Amino acid sequence: MTITNILVCGIGGQGVMTATEILAEAALSLGYDVKKTEVAGMSQRGGVVTSHLRFGPQVLSPQIMPGDADLLVGFEAAEALRWSHMLRPGGVALVNLGRLVPPVVNIGLYEYPDDPIAQMRALGLEVHAFDASAMALELGNIRLGNTVMLGAMADRLTFPADVLLNAVLARFGARKPQLVDINRQAFERGRQAVAARVEEPANA
């Protein structure tokens, strides 16, 4: 396949768009043609956000079609489940176990799925799940979840992990050098989280 399709999903405010932007910068730095598109209906108000990233020699349509995503990156567990159908057969899902429960569930109109990850696995998908939100909080800031997720993707791309790490760090380098180190740590945590999972038995 000449075009790589990465679908990042989550909820407004989680940093989905920033993460995809950083991925795009990494792909651009390698000279790829890149298109990135968002569907973010009123995303600032807690709505669903999906960000499509496509890169390769030449990208025409910016949209990833159902069944075409190589990588599905879920910033929230139920959102990953919602977008499962976007993965191609053999594609991989990287999912944050952190849950964001919306008001419609709180007031009892709907239920949050008991185990979204199990549901995804039951569909035959390869899923790597880890609690990026908890890792971010351990490092001192929930907003680092974004970098943890990027770290989780690092070894699943068609280019070396360092290219992505450099794109993450380049964001802060000049403006906020004090954040470089903590982001490097967050990136590494994400990377290890997926690596650790890969070694598990297949049916874990």
Question: Given the complex with another protein, which of 161 and 172 has the nearer CB atom?
Answer: 172
Pairing, β 126-130 against β 87-96: parallel
* 200: contact with another protein by CB under 8 A: no
- CA dist 96 and 192 (Å) reads 14
Site size with another protein, rule: CB under 8 A: 72
Q: DSSP strand E in 12-118: where?
A: 33-39, 48-56, 69-74, 87-96
Q: Which of 28, 161, 163, 180 binds another protein (CB under 8 A)?
A: 28
Q: At what angle do helices 145-153 and 161-173 cross, to 10 degrees?
A: 150
Positions 47 through 106 that interact with another protein (CB under 8 A): 47-48, 59-63, 65-68, 78-79, 81-82, 84-89, 101-106
Stretch that binds another protein, among 134-142, 149-157, 158-166, 194-202 (CB under 8 A): 134-142
Structure tokens at 164: 């992505």
Q: For residue 54, what are the β-bridge partners?
A: 5, 35
Q: How far is the CB of 107 from another protein (least distance, A)?
A: 5
* 119: contact with another protein by CB under 8 A: yes
